[in-house]
Amino acid sequence: MTNLDPSSGSLRQSAPKKPVILVAEDEAPLMTLLRYNLEKEGYRALEAHDGDEALMVAAEDTPDLVLLDWMLPKVSGIEVCRRLRGRAETRNVPIIMLTARGEEADRVRGLDTGADDYITKPFSMTELLARIRAVMRRIRPALAEDIVSFGEVTIDRSAHRVKRGDKDIHLGPTEYRLLDHFLQHPGRVFSREQLLDAVWGSGVYVDARTVDVHIGRLRKALNEPGQLDPIRTVRSAGYALDESFKV
């Protein structure tokens, strides 16, 4: 194929892709302000003015991050958050809740639902942009990479392959998703319920002990007898990747 117009096609495609931020906010002046600042910062902003629209837009064009107002018409921010976490495509997309509520219980509830961070209105644009950069830095590197390693365990997402050292590890689909989820958040402790939400999806009813069964299978597949276990059981809390395994 010939390409006579240098402004189109391959040249344009080689420009770095701008991170996409979905802004779900029903206050028009705040939306305008957010959009202006995000675009100035080099992001592409997608707008949603209620909860339904947020879910629709996120399904059409998976964002890299979501700014989610707590109080949204139609479907509440917290419900949007829960549903985004329940979909495979948006399960790991960072979500920052924008909330007018400052009470501790609400913050905890927001984070329980799967938000990565929250910011209380009114907030300064400088603070919000700093939070966005921090969340992007924390979450994007592992997501952007096809090949991610933790110690001698390596996952190749494009080939759907897992290795420990030179040895190929064969995992079932659930064990694969569990491992991938851990590798995206090294060191972070997940409760069984959080793992169920992240790996099985929040709409599914599965007994929390099912997680233990699949963790057991994952360990069995990863570890030869006598080898260090990369997965740490955190008593009465859940599971995490063992940071000491990385060294």
Q: Per CB under 5 A, which region of 8-16, 22-30, 124-132, 229-237 contacts Ca ion? A: 22-30
- Which is nearer to Ca ion, 26 or 79 (by Cβ)? 26
Say how many residues touch Ca ion, by CB under 5 A. 3
Q: Is 26 in the site for Ca ion (CB under 5 A)?
A: yes
- Which is nearer to Ca ion, 71 or 129 (by Cβ)? 71
Q: Is 30 in the site for Ca ion (CB under 5 A)?
A: no
Among 71, 75, 134, 136, which residue interacts with Ca ion (rule: CB under 5 A)? 71
Q: Is 79 in the site for Ca ion (CB under 5 A)?
A: no
Hey, what's the torsion of the CAs at 77, 79, 82, 87, to 10 degrees?
-100
Furthest C-alpha separation in the chain: 64
Distance CA 13, CA 16 (A): 8
- Which is nearer to Ca ion, 72 or 183 (by Cβ)? 72
- Which is nearer to Ca ion, 81 or 222 (by Cβ)? 81
Within residues 147-206, the interface with Ca ion by CB under 5 A covers none
CB of 77 to Ca ion, least distance (A): 8
Within residues 196-235, the interface with Ca ion by CB under 5 A covers none
Distance CA 134, CA 140 (A): 10
Closest C-alpha among 209, 39, 22 to residue 97? 22
The CB density around residue 222, as the number of other CB atoms within 10 Å, is 21
DSSP per position, 1-43? -----TTSTHHHHTSPPPPEEEEE---HHHHHHHHHHHHHTTP
CB of 100 to Ca ion, least distance (A): 8
* Residue type at position 53: E
Interface residues with Ca ion (CB under 5 A) are 26, 69, 71
